[in-house]
Structures are given as C-alpha cells and as structure tokens.
Structure 1
Amino acid sequence: MASTGELIAGRYRIAARLGRGGMGTVWRAQDELLGRDVAVKELHVDTGLSELDAERQRERTLREARSVAQVKHPGILVLHDVVRHDEQPWLVMELIDGCSLADRVTANGPLTPAEAARIGLALLAALRAAHAAGVLHRDLKPANVLLESGTDRVVLSDFGIAQVAGQTTLTRTGAFVGSPEYTAPERMSGRHTGPESDLWSLGVLLCASVEGESPFHRDSVAGVLHAVVVDEIRPPQSAGPLLPVVRGLLERDPERRFGADETERALRDFLAQEGLPTVAHTPAPAPAAPRRRG
C-alpha cells in the first residue's frame, strides 16, 4: 500500500488517505507538474490471487477508467489520467472537497424528503448521461455519491463495476461484485440488466437517504438476497411524499418499474408543490473534509 509522501508515477505526491472501498484506496495527492490537488485511486492487490485473477483486478480498474472517460457530465467525477506505479494501474481523478452522502447521513442524520428528491434529480441526470453513452453504473449507493461543499453539486463516482455496452461483463470467482442491498433483483437472479437496474438502485438510495438505512438491510448476505428477491418490500414511511416514486422504482418487474422520465417528472412535481428549487443542495457535516470513496 502507498504511504504519505510517496511519489506516484514521478508526478503525484501522496498527502493523505481519503477513503477505502472494496476495490481500492483513494488518496489525496499533489500534482507536482500542474500544482493542483487531485485524488488518486490505488488498486487493492491480493497477494493470494492467481495471476489470472490479479489480471482481472487490473482490468477492472482500467474498465472504470474507460467507463468514466466515455461520459462527460458535471454530475460524474472527472478522470484526469491513468498511470502505472509498481506495475499496477492508478486512476487520477478530480478531488471533491466535501463528503459522501453516506458520511452526510451518518454525521447529520437522515435527509428530509425534499433534500433526497433534489439529490435524486441530480443523480438521475448523471445516470441519463451514462446510459446515453452505453454505460451502466451497477453500484449506485450513498458511499458512491459525493456532495461538494459550498455548491449545489452532486457527483456520482466509482464506476469500478460498470458495464459498457458491447463489452464482456467481468466477475470475480466465487464472489458477488457490488453492493447487494442496492442491487436490482434481476441482476441478483443473473438475468439481463439495463438502465432500469440503476433506477432500482436509485429507489433504494432514496429510501436510505430518508431512513438512514436501506429497506433491504439484513444481518447476513443471504438475508439481503432474500429480501431483495422474495420478501415483501416495505418502503419507509419517512419517505412521505416520495413514497409513490420509491414504490415505482422498487418494482421487481423491470418492465413495470418507473423509467427515467416518470421518475424525473414525479420528483420535479413534488418539489414544485413544495415551492422548492430542483437543484440539489444539502449541507455537509462540519468540519468538511475532502472525500473520495474507493
């Protein structure tokens, strides 16, 4: 693992660790060539992996780079570069000064329905851009949503398990890649997935934003899988006026699930009735610290 002060690829000086996820650790770094702060993502290397699985890990990192590079939208984290250091690929990304939605809820408690609706609209716009480019995110969850301090900007990050149209899906032997609580039932069942699967995840995220946890939270992975695929779905009453949207998004049949147009219309109508703007804004916990999840 990298350490503070280490120089990556002869250019990026590690300053501090920002976050750690299932696939990598993200560091704050100084770009010594351009004199700016960036986020760099270090791939987790499992020394027990076979050469084939290690190559799949590296390919997953490059897949993230290719996925993000195909989408240009202010609601999607900007990728600056891909470099190699110690024979491993690193992603060099825009640094967001703020926190993740998960950190915001943990620090300040659940959002109001209006706050959740505005963030939902921003994420919907980012997903539309990704889907138009043929990219499915497949891991939309509060930890992968960044809230920039002092602005209205909501940023979707972590395209590490994204699927790009026309490319073979990567899997990890013997493991589920993704976040089960936020994964659509058709993907759990191994069926074909499309943009509607990301919309299911958006519905779960809205629930988690106003309740503090997803409606599919259980004590075991098996329990989560059963809840997503079989159990009765009970959206939180804290969703209030968002309940019709949430129910529409958490429809197990993808053909009956709310599409992007229906979702946007419902969220905008709710905010209009409340006399509120449709631009996402929610205060970050104090003190705000630069965050970027791995």
Structure 2
Amino acid sequence: MLIAGRYRLLEPVGSGGMGRVWLARDEMLDRDVAVKEFVPPDWMNDDEKTRLRDRTLREARSAGRLNHPHVVRVYDVVHAEGLPWIVMEYVPSRSLHQVINEDGPYSPVAAARIGLAVLDALSAAHRAGVLHRDVKPHNVLIGLDGRVVLTDFGLATFVDDGSVTGPGLVVGSPQYVSPERARDGASTVESDMWSLGATLYAAVEGRSPYARETAMATLMALATEPPDPPERAGLLGPVLLGLLRHDPAARLTASEVERRLRMVVAAAPGGGGVPSPRRARVVASAAPVSVRVLPAQRVAEAPVSPAPSSPPFRSRPLVLLVAVGLAGVVLIGAGGFLLSRADDLPVARPSSAPAFVTVGFSPATCSALTPSAAARLPRKGAATGVNGWRLLPGWSYFTDGSGFHIPVPDGWIYARSGAMYCFRDTQGDRVLSLDTARNPAGDPVRACRTEASRLVAVGALPGYHEIAIEKRPLLNKAADWEYQYRDPSGVALHAQTRWFTNNGHGYALSWATREIDWSADLSKINMVLSTFYTDKPR
C-alpha cells in the first residue's frame, strides 16, 4: 500500500489501542521510515475520533519541536483516506518493556545508563515546553545499535497551551502515572520525573513499583502506600526512591538525578548487560545494553573530595595527579573500584616509538592513526600498577622516560610526534591523546578557548559544538573543555580535554569517542584522569 504517493507500507512493527506502526519505505528518498497509522476503535463516536485525531497531530507537533538523539524524529505528517499518518525515523529496536519481559531486568548500572538517555530526552522536551505525560517502558526503545530513544508523544502537551490539567481524567498507564496525576490530573515536569523513576524501577526490578492485579488496585495503592521497596537496585535504589516521592516538591530534580546516575555508572565500570539465556538469539551487535553501546550525555560535575595529604603510591618518588575529575576521586576513596592491591609489579622501560605527524593538539588529529603507522601496546615490561597498587585488568601504564605515566588499555596502538602522544583503539573510534608541552604559566580556560578557535578555524573539528569550558577550582590551574564534533564520514563524536599543570609542567589530556559510547566511557575517562601521575624531579 502506498501512502501519499511516497511511503510504501511493508509490515506492521507495533500496535496499540489507538494506532498501528508500520515499517515503510520512503520511495522518494530511498530510506526506511516508520509510519504511524491512526486507527480509532469501533466504539468511538465522531467527537471522540476527532479528539483522537487531534491527539495524533499533537504528538507530531510535540516531537517535531525536538531535535535530539534520544527522541524519535518526526519527518512528516500526511493525510490519506481522510486520516493523519505520522512519518517518523525508523529505529530497529525492542521496547524496554519487551526486553524486560523477554530477557529479564537490567543490572543497576545498565538501568542507570538507560536512565541518563531518557532523562536527557525529557530534559530537552521540558526545555522546549513539552511535557511527555506517558513515560513508561513501552515508550522507551532500545536500539539494536544500543541507542536509547523516547517515543510516543501522543499524550504530550505544551506547558503553556492551557491543557496541562484535567480534573477527573487520568491519562497514561496507571502503574507509571504519578500520584498527583492519578488524583487530580495535574501534569508537570515533576510528574514526568516520577514516571521516569517508575520506568527505571521496572528496568532493574522487572516490574513497576505499584504492580497490582487490577488498575483500580494500582490507583488505590498509589494514593495510600509507599512504593514497593526495590530489591535488586543496589546503588540505584536511592535514586529510584528519590524520584518516587509522593510530594512533587520533594522529588529529585533532573540535575540531581543526572549527577547521581553518573555516579552509579562510574562506580561500577564494566557492568551492565542483560543477564538472560535468551540473549543468544539476539544479534551480537544488538545487545539491549552493554558498556560498549550506550548513548552519550554531557558529563555532570560530581562532588570532588579534597586531595589527600599523601598519595596512595609509595616508596619511589613521584607525584600523583589527584582530584582530577568527574567522580574519579570518589571512586578511589569509596573502596578501590579503580585500583586493586598487587605485589612485585614490573617496571616500565623506555623505548622508542614511531613518529606520527599531526596538525595540532586534538583527539581529531589522532583519528588517522593506523596500525601500520604505530606500535601496539602494552610495551615490553609495561607496569600494571605501581608500589603495590594495580590498575584494572586489561590496562597498563605507558611511559617513555619523559616523566609521565598514563594508563592505556592493552591492545591499543600508539604513535608520537614531538610532545604529542596519540593512543587509539583498533576495534573502535576511541582516541586518547596527551600533549606534554603546555605552558604551565598559562591560563587554562583561555588556553582551551584559544585551542578551540584555532582547531575550528583550520577545519580540524567539523560540526563543532562546545558543551562547556570550565575552570576546575579544586585543582592547581586546570580546566575542562567538553565538546562534540563529527568525523569525515559524519559520525557524531564526543570529547573532553583536561588542561592542567603538574609538577611544574603543563599538560592537555583528551579522550574522544562516538557520541553513542560517551556514557559507557565515563569510567574509562575517570581511570585515566585519576591514575595519571608524574615523577617527582630529583
């Protein structure tokens, strides 16, 4: 069937009480799209069908107001056979509801990563003046490439359109509706946040916090009882309970939720898959969530503990870069998530490295590094720790006798040009780079801004978007520069550069990866920043 002379319906991929979603082919642009068909139930009268058509158009307008990687994009609205059809981005995926039912609940870390993506989408909607009003596992899609997207803005409303409240009318799924909406129909940013909490509760517990046998029993429990205590949530538990508070004013805010979710992710590097014997039937690259394929978010600043009076590394004279970013110090101080005790560790030996010519300091300038032009790590005799402390398995220290020691994943390749060191993952797009010749007397914020302007001017950062350039007040002359750009093929990338001084020298250390992998890489960034150290001058 051809819709509007352009969209050929291929097969249904989803349906609900009010509509059906088709996989279709856009024959004009030769691409797959999703087309949502308006299907009013037979029992509806004409007035009710008109209201439902209005809801369909409201969905298109609401989602169309947003241009965000975690929101399904709306391409078009067409009319055929007297009914509206919404043409949307096609995301090969399963809903979070399907994944939970088919594969079991997620780990707390994986659920936190999903939460970061959905929170980012909700925050973008709220900034645009759009309330979703139906956040639930059915409306969160887990893409086969790991992308997490929020969909179905059918109940969404504009904050300023005069229809935010509706006494006596409860819309949405009862198990994921906030108490105030169940009571009086009020829709607010806080009610969307409650639904986010209920959705994440289901992701980690396998059911909603108010799962009862009937909708009426759910609504009664919602009005009179606290949420069921989470049993599997671990570190995620306080976040869930903070979102599920009955008083909207007491609920965690979006910024606080983001900060706490990032701490959950950073506190348990390497975890997060869906334990299920049914995973074997899913294509490997289609794993619902893993540390490899989760969407990006802006790094939120976590509380940083003051630098300890003496570093944990002992005996050999050296200086550890402490309090270096994100939750790194918190991780080390909270029980050794990043390092573990070891004895009789080998000592790295300096050796030569192949030259690699770059056009300036930026992760983008290291992206052309290929195995044929580089040496593979770890180098012979590379240390996996120092003075009785060991890095996580699969990491080793790189040093060439220049006085610095930087942890790098084993198997990466390496090249150097002057003071510029490039490290790259041969299995992906991750790049770690270090410039050891920064001016220690310079202003870190000004240096980052100058570098950004220069690299953009020479075209080294296509599609550049600055997220933040911020001074790190607890560090000695340090600043963070976080930004997004695209590689020559158009893939969205995300990077952070830490400009800092240490032991009288100036450094710039960067990590860059695909936008979709940014959240999953936060623990790796923390590892590098919190365990980089320099030798004390003799």
TM-score of the pair, normalised by structure 2 = 0.50
The CA deviation string for residues 89-134 of structure 1, in whole angstroms up to 9 with x for no partner, is 0100000012111111122111000110000011111110000001
Match status 1:236 vs 2:221: no
Aligned with 2:58 (options 59, 63, 66): 63
Aligned with 1:182 (options 171, 176, 179): 176
- AA aligned to 1:71 is L
Match status 1:29 vs 2:31: no
Aligned to 2:41: 46
Cα pair distance change 1:49/1:191, threshold 3 Å: closer
| CA-CA distance at 1:165 after TM superposition | 1.8
Cα pair distance change 1:178/1:22, threshold 3 Å: farther
TM-score of the pair, normalised by structure 1 = 0.89
User: For the residues of structure 2 that align with 1:38 and 1:109, how far apart are their CA atoms?
Assistant: 29
Retained in 2: the 8 A contact 1:235–1:246?
no
Aligned to 1:140: 135
Retained in 1: the 8 A contact 2:176–2:195?
yes
Aligned with 1:13 (options 4, 8, 11): 8
| CA-CA distance at 1:50 after TM superposition | 2.4
Match status 1:92 vs 2:87: yes
User: For the residues of structure 2 that align with 1:158 and 1:170, how far apart are their CA atoms?
Assistant: 17
User: For the residues of structure 1 that align with 2:63 and 2:273, how far apart are their CA atoms?
Assistant: 24
Retained in 1: the 8 A contact 2:164–2:187?
no
Aligned to 1:76: 71
Higher strand share: 2
| CA-CA distance at 1:168 after TM superposition | 3.9
User: Please, which runs of 5 or more residues in structure 1 have no aligned partner?
Assistant: 1-5, 290-294
SS at match of 1:265: helix
| CA-CA distance at 1:282 after TM superposition | 6.6
Cα pair distance change 1:23/1:114, threshold 3 Å: same
SS at match of 2:124: helix
Aligned to 1:256: 250
How many equivalent pairs are there? Answer: 281
| CA-CA distance at 1:72 after TM superposition | 1.3
User: For the residues of structure 2 that align with 1:233 and 1:148, how far apart are their CA atoms?
Assistant: 30
Retained in 1: the 8 A contact 2:169–2:185?
no
Match status 1:195 vs 2:189: yes
Cα pair distance change 1:193/1:176, threshold 3 Å: closer
SS at match of 2:12: strand
| CA-CA distance at 1:227 after TM superposition | 1.6
User: For the residues of structure 2 that align with 1:182 and 1:191, how far apart are their CA atoms?
Assistant: 13
| CA-CA distance at 1:166 after TM superposition | 2.0
User: For the residues of structure 2 that align with 1:222 and 1:240, how far apart are their CA atoms?
Assistant: 30
User: For the residues of structure 2 that align with 1:87 and 1:235, how far apart are their CA atoms?
Assistant: 49
Retained in 1: the 8 A contact 2:70–2:121?
yes
Alignment of 1:93-242 (within 5 A): 93-150=88-145, 152-169=146-163, 176-190=170-184, 192-242=186-236
| CA-CA distance at 1:275 after TM superposition | 3.0
SS at match of 2:248: coil
| CA-CA distance at 1:146 after TM superposition | 0.8
Retained in 2: the 8 A contact 1:56–1:170?
no
User: Please, which runs of 5 or more residues in structure 2 have no aligned partner?
Assistant: 287-538
Q: Percent identity?
A: 47
- AA aligned to 2:96 is L
- AA aligned to 1:193 is S
User: For the residues of structure 1 that align with 2:127 and 2:164, how far apart are their CA atoms?
Assistant: 21
SS at match of 2:102: helix
Retained in 2: the 8 A contact 1:203–1:250?
yes
- AA aligned to 1:231 is E
Stretch of structure 1 that moved more, 191-200 or 110-119 = 191-200
For CA contacts below 8 A with separation 6 or more, give which structure has more relative contact order: 1
User: For the residues of structure 1 that align with 2:17 and 2:132, how far apart are their CA atoms?
Assistant: 16
Cα pair distance change 1:124/1:233, threshold 3 Å: same
